[in-house]
Every structure is written in C-alpha cells, then in structure tokens.
Amino acid sequence: MTPADLAAVGLRLEIEGPVATVTLDRPEVRNAQTPAMWLALAELGASLPDDVRVVVVTGEGDTFSAGLDRAMLDPAHAGEGTVLALLALSDEEASARIEEFQRGFTWLRDPRFVSIAKVRGHAIGAGFQLALSCDLRVVADDAKLSMKESALGLVPDLTGTKPLVEHVGYARALEICATARVVTGEEAARIGLATACVPAADLDAAVADLAAALVAPMAGVVSETKTLLQGAADRDLDEQRRLEREAQVRRFRAVAAAFAG
C-alpha cells in the first residue's frame, strides 16, 4: 500500500532497517479504528519486506487507541464501510466479513518478526485487542486498558480473547472482559499483560532498546524461537522436543554457512 492509501484510513508506516513502525494516525478521534483500517492493516502485514524483524505498533499522540470509532455504530452513518453494514448480511456472510477484519490483527503473530505494542494512554476495546495481538507489550504508567465490548452488549471478536486467557488465566480474563473495567499500566505489568510498565517519558526509549535487543541476534534465530514457543503449551513434550531438534539442525547449518562465507 502507498503512504497515501494508508493515510486515507488513518495509518502510517515507517521502516528503518529491520524495524517497522505502524502508527494509528487519527489523533483527532484518539486513534479510533474502522473496518477500513483493519482491512488495510491486513494488507500492510502481508506486504512487509522479508528483512523486517521487529514491528512496533503505536498510536499518534497521547492515546494508543480508543477502540472502535463510534460512528461505525451510528445508524445515521450506515454504509458498506461500517460495522452496522453487517446487519444486512446473512449470519454466514457476516461471520466471513468479521474474519476479514480479524486478519488486521492476526498478522502480528507471524513468526517472521516480533511485534511490540507501544501503549500510552487509553487502549480500549479494539485498541486493547490490537495490543494483545502483539507478541510483547510495553506500556506507559499512564496506560489504561479495557475490554469495553460488554458495555456495548458485544463480545471481543478481534482475536483478543485467546491471548488474554493465555496471559492472565481464565478467571482473570473473564473478570476483565465481563466487567469492562480499566486495567492500569502498573497492573498490566504485575499480572503479565505487559512486558514492562515505564514512565511515559521513557516509553519511546524503552521500546527502542527492546527492538534493538531483538534484532541483535543472528537473523533467523528469533523467528525460529518464536515458532517454537507459539503453541508450545498445546503440544506434548515429545512433539515439542522434535520441533526443537529440527530447528536446531537448521540453526547449526545457518551458523556454519555464515562462518564459511
């Protein structure tokens, strides 16, 4: 996608060496999200250069994302590009359309790179789920995360439920989703939702340091490791150790080739 295409839906992409930064760029509405943005995110993820090893997702200004743009739920603005347009579809068609929206979140789990959510201010609803789609979350001490869908009579449907349960367990995930309460940055770090909580003034530096550490190892190491860790909890030991040794053989050959070259 061109910069103009991304700007039209409120996104910005910057690539510096092996680090790509995706910015939600609608500060006038606290980086609220739209279906057009989700479709563009999916396309952006599919077109990233192969040498990108870290993807940072953030929001312009002092808010990560206030969640779904409420205009998308306003009957006065009903149209093909809104969430309300789903009501005109059959159940199967609506489900398929939501699956397209979900791809704007699932690409962040691609083992080619490590994704980091850099969160300051509010990460609400779809904003919280976008942060949860990333491998790692570094949050400012002013961060406020909330799964607000239940307050609207809805459920989280943008792939946030699985990582939330994986990070905090079923009971805590249920409590966070059902009450729609705010999780502060400090609590997010304490219960395992965030890798770190830092002063807001230090957030940029903390994420830059983490990105630098992630690209320091030889190319291929981190992606192999991410692949091993993804789904490890669902595999038995024999399957996991088979995958470990197969990955290690590939790494031995890559290291040997690097030295030979």
Under a CB-based contact definition with an 8 Å cutoff, are residues 140 and 119 in contact? yes
The residue to which tokens 């680090």 are assigned = 19
Query: What spatial distance separates the first Cα and last Cα of the chain, rounded to whole Å?
Result: 36
pLDDT (mean) for 231-246: 96
- Mean pLDDT, rounded, for 145-164: 96
Check residue 234 and give its pLDDT.
94
CA distance linking residue 46 with residue 253, whole number of Å: 28
Task: Give the C-alpha distances (Å, rounded to integers) separating 37 from 6, 60, 70, 223.
Answer: 8, 15, 14, 27
- pLDDT at residue 79 above 70? no
Angle at 213 between CA 109 and CA 45, to 5 degrees: 25
Q: How far from chain centre, in Å, is Cα 74? A: 26
pTM reported for the whole predicted model: 0.94
Cα gap 36→88, rounded to integer Å: 18
Give the span between the Cα atoms of 203 and 79, in whole angstroms: 38
User: What one-letter code names the amino acid at 238?
Assistant: D
- Return the pLDDT at 70: 81
* pLDDT surpassing 80 at residue 175: yes
Q: Average pLDDT for residues 146-164, to the nearest whole number?
A: 95
- Run of H or E including 248: helix 237-260
Query: Does 71 score more than 80 pLDDT?
Result: no
Q: Residue 74: pLDDT band by 50, 70, 90 thresholds?
A: low
pLDDT band at 232 (very low <50, low <70, confident <90, very high): very high
How large is the average pLDDT for residues 76-93? Answer: 77
pLDDT band at 164, cuts 50/70/90? very high
Spatial strand order of the sheet with 136-140 comes to 11-16, 19-24, 54-59, 114-119, 136-140, 196-198
Phi/psi region, residue 239 (left: phi>0; alpha: psi -120 to 50; beta: rest), is: alpha
Q: What is the mean pLDDT of residues 94-123?
A: 97
